[in-house]
Amino acid sequence: MDALFLIKIGEIRLKDGNRAEFENRLKRDIKRRLSSFHSELTSREGRYYLKVDEENAAQAEFALSRTPGVNGWARAVKTPKTMDRIAGAALDAMAPLAARGISTFKVESRRSDKGFPLDSYGISREVGGAILERFPAMRVDVHNPHATVYVEVREKAYVYTDGTSGVRGLPVGSGGRGLLLLSGGIDSPVAGYMMLGRGLALESLYFHAYPYTSREAWEKVRDLAANLATYSGGMLLHTAHFTEVQLKIKKDALPEKTTLYLRACMMLAADMLAKRRGLNSIVSGESLGQVASQTAENMRFTGAYTDLAILRPLAGTDKEDTIRTARTIGTYDISILPYEDCCVLFSPKHPVLKAKFEEERAAFDALGFRDVVAEAVAGVETVELPFTFTPPRAAEVPR
Ligand code: ATP
Ligand code: MG
């Protein structure tokens, strides 16, 4: 048996000139994620219809739930164009909702086959009547219904109820490709997710400081990247070995400047790698004021080490909202695993809170970090994390 999904697209609909390009990108993306089994994706009048074998329906839903550009989807039933069959399908669709105690509904009908004997108003009235008869506790509420039954009469009739919401936003890649600075924390995976939703395809960069940071810390970042890969449809994770950089900072910089200089070195490395990879932007999980050192002054200082766009989608986000998003997208439980961060080498008691721009640039530049950073970038190791239907979850922490 076939499972049929009706897919709604969001913002793409608002694109004038290049809508076709956005749509093609989205269709290619959906098909690519479903490439391990047979699927048919067609579009008509601004709607997409996806057909897969019933045994692949759960995987199709998983893919739809994680594809940016998909606003939502509903499992639809396709019936012959007779009122009996249409009403029967609507009753089947309503039964689980009625069982859940939903008590108000409306029917919304569309008829593009003008040869069909009833107009859309007539279809809605008949279907509504059948529902009221079968479920006497239900009432019609056209303004604020708990549930809506949709009927579309085209070459066949399609019946469905409210669907599930998707990621929304724009198809991956429509905004170019950026480099996500991915740490093991809560924020940066969420920042990556938000930019994916704006159409930015991502590669990730993690700064590792082995042996000061452990193999487990890297595995945690890999699992976070693998999770993001289910939204992006696959992702490259680059690891830069930053131990030498950190040791040089520890040797040459004043303790209160170590964190700030590490950030500047990270930005420098990100700039080099992004340019080598042809990426257009750098994404960071910084949030203004979240920790004392995340100030506009410090962001200005570190930002001076790239001329690419720096995207900080969490700059204005409350931590509680970030945590909520992290839980929803499945990264939170991985992020809170206790493996150490890359900055364990330094923990200044009084880090610089508001970098003085000219002064700090001169001091940093005089220490000559370019070569050691360039060496770390030259030695970057890359793994490819494919799209999978089973993203990693937080593994048990070994004792
Ligand atoms: P996160 O939860 O994302 O780690 P945070 O609030 O802990 O963020 P910081 O540790 O100050 O903040 O890092 C700010 C941003 O710098 C991170 O969101 C991330 O984008 C980047 N970053 C920090 N450490 C690393 C790292 N080891 N590798 C790659 N990027 C990093
Ligand atoms: Mg962090």
Q: HSE of 355 in the Cβ direction (CA atoms, 13 Å)?
A: 28
Mean pLDDT over residues 264-290, rounded? 97
pLDDT tens readout for residues 358-372 = 999 999 999 999 999
pLDDT on residue 221: 96
Percentage helix, strand, coil for the chain under 3-state DSSP, each rounded to 5: 45, 20, 35
* Residue 393 CA to ligand 1 centre (angstroms): 21
Indicate which residue's Cα is closest to atom 18 of ligand 1.
285
Ligand 1 test: best mutation among 179, 182, 188, 204, most atoms within 8 Å of CB?
A: 188
Q: Which of 181, 194, 302, 341 to mutate to test the pocket of ligand 1 (most atoms within 8 A of CB)?
A: 181
pTM of this prediction? 0.91
Which of the four pLDDT bands, split at 50, 70 and 90, describes residue 398? very low
**Which residue's C-alpha comes closest to atom 1 of ligand 1?**
185
| Ligand 2 midpoint to CA 256 (Å) | 18
What pLDDT sits at residue 344?
61
**Ligand 1 centre and the CA of 62: distance in Å?**
29
Residue whose CB lies within 8 A of the most ligand 1 atoms, among 180, 183, 202, for a mutation test: 183
The confidence band for 153, taking pLDDT boundaries of 50, 70 and 90, is very high
Query: What's the distance, CA 18 to chain centroid?
Result: 22
DSSP letter at 170 equals B
Distance of CA 98 to the CA centre of its chain: 33
CATH class of this structure's domain 2-165: alpha beta
Q: Which amino acids bring their CB within 6 angstroms of ligand 1?
A: 181-183, 185-188, 205-207, 284-286, 290-291, 342
Q: What is the pLDDT of residues 161-192, one digit of tens each?
A: 888 899 999 999 999 999 999 999 999 999 99
Taking only the tens place, the pLDDT of each residue in 311-350 is: 999 999 999 999 999 999 999 999 998 877 666 666 777 8
Pairing of strands 157-161, 70-79: antiparallel
Average the pLDDT over each of 9-18, 180-189, 297-306 and give the range with the smallest value: 9-18
Whether pLDDT at 46 is above 90: no
CA of 316 to the centre of ligand 2 (A): 17
Q: Which CATH class is domain 177-396?
A: alpha beta
262-276 tens-digit pLDDT: 999 999 999 999 999
86's enclosing H/E stretch is helix 83-99
> Predicted confidence band at 12 (pLDDT cuts at 50, 70, 90)?
confident
**Cα(181) to centroid(ligand 1), Å:** 7
Closest atom of ligand 1 to 184 CA is: 4
Kindly give the pairing relationship between strand 47-53 and strand 281-283: unpaired
The 3-state DSSP class for residue 240 equals strand
Cβ contact 240:377 at 8 Å = yes
In a 3-state reduction of DSSP, which class is residue 318?
Answer: coil
Q: Which DSSP helix (H) or strand (E) runs through 299?
A: helix 296-303
Integer Cα distance of 99 and 130 in angstroms: 17
Would you state the pLDDT for residue 155? 87
Residues 80-89, mean pLDDT to the nearest whole number: 95
pLDDT at 96: 84
Confidence of residue 395 (pLDDT cuts 50, 70, 90): low
List the domain boundaries for the chain: 2-165, 177-396
* Cβ count within 10 A of residue 113: 13
* Statement: residue 357 has pLDDT above 80: yes
Q: Residue 343 has what pLDDT?
A: 62
Length of the chain: 399
pLDDT of 187: 97
pLDDT of residue 254: 93
Helices 357-367 and 258-277 pack at an angle, to 10 degrees, of 70
Ligand 1 centroid to residue 233 C-alpha, Å: 23
Q: How far is CA 51 from the centre of its chain?
A: 24
The better pLDDT of the pair 103, 394 is held by: 103
Q: Residue 350's Cα: distance from chain center in Å?
A: 36
Q: Are 247 and 350 in contact (CB under 8 A)?
A: no
